Structure 1
Amino acid sequence: MCRSVDVRTAVLAKNDGLAAELRADLARRRVTAVNLLSSPGSGKTALLELALRRARERGVTVAALTADLATENDARRLARSGAPVKQVLTGGLCHLEAAQVRGLIDGWLPPATRLLFVENVGNLVCPASYDLGETLRVTLMSVTEGEDKPLKYPTAFGAAQLVVLTKTDLAEPVGFDDAAFRAAVERVNPGVEILPTSARTGQGVDILLDRILVVADGGAPHAPLLAADHLRRHAHDHGPEDSDGHHHGPDDSDGHHHDHARAHAHAYDDGHGHDHGHDHGAGRDHGHGHASRATPA
């Protein structure tokens, strides 16, 4: 058990170092990166599509990186906003890491980008422990998931600098207890803002963009209860458990599961037509340049 803990400590420490370098580089480029965490089915893709569309309407240059285990459905949906989008297929890896994000945005992210949204793999366990070099971490939850979700996933909600409640148009039909939810969030992350939203009605989307742009303009984001070292300790204490039932797969020689050899990325940019290309570079992962262009809104 000690060796397993030591290996995870080393892996997370290496990731933290790469994340710090990426964060500094993005800051120099004046890019605000937003890491979106949620469980599957929370509605974050629908909300992100609307947020990208609204940002473009405001004249804000945005891009999105979206991760999924096996499909490109999310990228196709996000591309309808007209923003540049890249889909990474993780091939089974249950989270993104800083090194992957660095490799994915290098040579792809438009130079004038102000906001970069990173839609993490749908999972509230693994992604919570990995710093991606983001400027702002946002954890989302839908009203259909149950008010006690923050207590069941204290790391994901405790590390959030903003908590977004989605699908609020369904709150009454599902009997959502807003007071109980807010009490649960306050217990794991005192003082964090909770923002109610609905992709169907548009509620809260402009406010979400306002909050992000304040941070982009130099405003200080909420300081979460769980600092990076606390995240590592939490991950070590609980090991590779994933209460969502996600399979972590075999470990590599470092004792940490990687499947980069199967991971690949597709780029979906705004515009018209299709431009398909393949660029297989050296290393363990490869990129497919599929530019599937959607008509701007």
Structure 2
Amino acid sequence: MTAGSAYAESQGIPFLGAFFAYEGPHRNEGYEWTYSPFPKSRDVARSTRGLLELIPEGERPTNVGLWEPNSGWGEEQADYWEETLSDAGYDVVLRETFSLGSQDFSTLISQSESEDVEVLLSTPTPPGGITAVNQMQSNNWAPDVLKFVRAADPTAWWSALGDTGAYACMCPGWVPGLTGGGNEQLWSAYESEYGLEDGELIRTPVGGAYNVAQTALQAIEGADSVQPSALQETLRSETFETVIGSFGFENNGLPAEGDLTAPTGQWWEGNQHTVYPETDGRGAMDFQYPIPAWSER
């Protein structure tokens, strides 16, 4: 997204970019033409709190562990998680940094076990997250809740791990199970064009991309023009209704604070299902909690 932003900002043309939760560039780069119709780090943190609140209070875990990649987004997301969950009464019992590209998570696993981490949150790369879960299994440890944003987003997660990767949660922007905002039309159009096998659900990037197209179309229709300045004004002033929700934009291109509920998905039987917010849409399911011991899976 940053390459697209650089070109758009230099040329003075609107740019819509998704699959990018990092808020820092919006706040620090002086964006005027870059708009991101996508849940951001603060939305992911609020979604995590909502997910945990689905668990009955008497059974709800309280000990949170943060594995923080040594990156700008890693720090930003960990900060939001710590602030949001601490304010809600959770105890952040572990916050440790690791290097992106790390292939050894044994120390982090040992520390998490020692600190009785029940909810493990991180934003590793897909290869890193896959390696971490394999090493959790080797070390016979797992948290009660695992949320690996980014790592568990792509289908590579299930291709590499299969049932070992079940129960993992993620926030990829759109997840099967969401309703309203054109979701019914998305399913109809996708099935008409590509078809779906029995039990197969639409993959998450499809919904995220459809949402970008919806935002672009609504901006053009609202401006009644394709002139950059007219589109910029519409993006800054209008509300957009897409498959991920209803939202407006701040002048820096972030979705307006509080507008978007970042859907949390969970891997189950080869598909990603919406578990938060609770919906009755196609692909939604009840949150599977807690993650059982490896010997019971």
Shorter-chain TM range is: 0.3 to 0.5
Larger Rg computed on CA atoms: 2
> TM-score w.r.t. structure 2 length?
0.40
> TM-score w.r.t. structure 1 length?
0.40
